[in-house]
Structure 1
Amino acid sequence: MHPTHHRSRGTVAALVLGLSAILASGPAGAEELTGTLKKIKDSGAITIGYRDSSVPFSYLDGDQKPVGYAYEICRKIADGVKANLKMDKLEVKLNPVTSATRIPLIANGTIDLECGSTTNNADRQKQAAFTNTHFLTATRYVSKKDKKLDKIEDLKGRTVVSTSGTTNIRQINEANTERKLGLTILPAKDHAEAFLMVETGRADAFVMDDVLLASLMAGSKTPDAYAISTEALSKPEPYGIMLRKDDAPFKAVVDAATAKLYESPEGKALYEKWFTQPIPPRGINLKLPMSEAMQKQFAHPSDSADPAAY
């Protein structure tokens, strides 16, 4: 029996050797990078798209430098990419984006990650991919308290504003048609301009993600003069960092980096920093503790576009 026994052991050893040779060739094989990972490795840089007034996600501080919750998440993703590609240094380039330009700039390769307040939905997934959700919001509206507006019906016949290129302007247009509200709907180039229209009386209400409305209100001259509607125009909507579509290797690295962050105590600390504490440049506090849905999302990160999943 012995000789055969040894022979079979020899075969196993050969198999193990063969297998370790294959595994060892892994990194060499991994040089065959494609898509975004190849672009980053070859250029030595990753480009982050940031927003200028999506407080507290991605906006400019007093020194006109990008800061924010989503912006910090993107910096963490960049660290993850750098480690994955075993690069000694990785240059992080910054490129401003708006609601209207963010998807085209991802699609054409100008930016690699879009860090902001972008809703992950089925429609957008046809044009871009999203990593794990970093926030849940719903569409509501802000108005001056003395107008006593709270429900969607209260807007009948009024002038409302929303930011162009957003899901929100589409939702208010749909509600206007379905509910025969007779609204005048004005598009604004960004959130700051839209809020200013409510402030100056050019619009009765600004339809947007409730969290962005809360930040604009908190940062205004008279926060107590405004109210956010209790009725929402949408179910909970997930925000995700956007990346290019059909680039599975890059998405796997990005997903691993965001999941690791959200599942760790650092993820919760990052949330608290931007939503429950004073933030730059003026020390406003959004006072939005983590919801139960958000706690669940961080415990089990998901990139689902389906509001029912949260």
Structure 2
Amino acid sequence: MGTRSRLRAALAAGTAALALAGCGVAEGADGSVADADSLVIGVKDNEPGLGSRGANGRYEGFDIDVARKVAEGLGVDAGNVTFKKVSSDQREDLLDEGAVDLVVASYSVTQQRKTEVTFAGPYYVAHQDILVRQSDAASVENVRDLAGKRLCRVDRSVSFTRVREERDVPVLSVPGADYADCVSKLAAGALDAVSTDDLILTGLAAKAAAAGSGPALRMVNAPISDEPYGIGLRKGDVEGCEAVNKAITGMYQDGTAAALLKKWFVPAGLEVTTTVPQFEGCD
């Protein structure tokens, strides 16, 4: 190879390396988060109690604290952790594109999602429940009572499908940009119920109550399903998955998980589980 050819090859290699670093992709030899010196973590910013942004712009919530603890377990300094806002319909794409290294965003593990993403955890098992206006609470005691009612549907979230298709309840679909939008529409009378994970509903209902505007909202307390919250990694990162599972286990063993659950959800009246969940496996 001539001098000019070698120079062009070196420049091309350098450009590719810079492009990879600019995407925030884990820099281990095999691209595993287990070898990363820095992490870009996808989180929600509109789910109070789980992932939201305070008045100072800082991310806060259970998922945020879990993400920080996992990063610490992976040996990544707090100063090298960057949070990136994600929505329910972006999570798989952002992982696949390498725009984020991990997703910690009320991300329920499902068989369909496991075809696209490698999941560590779960780090908690939530339960799908139903939120209604207090004035309608007497008429909605379980999922069957949603028949004929207007239920919020968030794109690429499995909650609506679980009610209408898996439980075969003939609900009417009302689109919502996210579950914060759904709860706003519920309070405004634009729909009759919101059904998703109890941790999400608890946080949003508490925020609505604190704001003091609109009608009172009530949790039905009729769990529909288990919702194992996993940490998403790029498909095939088994080494990273095992490292994240080790970090999750440590979080439960040292009492951090129990303290975080008490901090974010117990004051709102939710009964939480403080034992380490059964992991899904990293295949």
Percent identity over the alignment?
23
What runs of 5+ residues in structure 2 fail to find an aligned partner? 1-26
Larger relative strand fraction: 2
In the alignment, does 2:199 pair up with 1:206?
no
Retained in 2: the 8 A contact 1:120–1:130? yes
| Aligned residue number for residue 189 of structure 1 | 177
Aligned length: 250
In the alignment, does 2:283 pair up with 1:304?
no
Tell me the CA shift for residue 267 of structure 1.
2.5
2:274 to 282, 295, 304: 295
Query: 1-side partners of 2:34 and 2:254: how far apart?
Result: 29
Higher-Rg structure is 1
Query: Quick one: structure 1 residues 264 and 204, their matched pair in 2 at CA, closer, same or farther if it must change by over 3 Å?
Result: same
Name the aligned partner's letter for residue 66 of structure 2.
I
TM-score with structure 2 length normalisation?
A: 0.79
1:145-177 CA-to-partner distances (Å, cap 9, x unmatched) read 21232222322222111322111022123157x
Query: 1-side partners of 2:269 and 2:219: how far apart?
Result: 14
Query: 1-side partners of 2:261 and 2:78: how far apart?
Result: 27
CA RMSD of aligned residues (A): 2.5
Query: Secondary structure of the residue that 1:48 maps to in structure 2?
Result: strand
Tell me the CA shift for residue 287 of structure 1.
2.7
What runs of 5+ residues in structure 1 fail to find an aligned partner? 1-30, 277-284, 306-310
Query: 2-side partners of 1:139 and 1:32: how far apart?
Result: 37
Query: 2-side partners of 1:74 and 1:286: how far apart?
Result: 22
User: Which residues of 2 match residues 103-182 of structure 1 at below 5 A?
Assistant: 103-147=92-136, 148=138, 149-175=140-166, 178-179=168-169, 181=170
Retained in 2: the 8 A contact 1:46–1:90? no
| Aligned residue number for residue 21 of structure 2 | none
Query: 2-side partners of 1:157 and 1:248: how far apart?
Result: 44
Tell me the CA shift for residue 202 of structure 1.
0.4
| Aligned residue number for residue 9 of structure 2 | none
Query: Quick one: structure 1 residues 269 and 38, their matched pair in 2 at CA, closer, same or farther if it must change by over 3 Å?
Result: closer
State the 4+ residue runs in structure 1 displaced beyond 4 angstroms: none
Query: Quick one: structure 1 residues 215 and 224, their matched pair in 2 at CA, closer, same or farther if it must change by over 3 Å?
Result: farther
Query: Secondary structure of the residue that 1:49 maps to in structure 2?
Result: strand
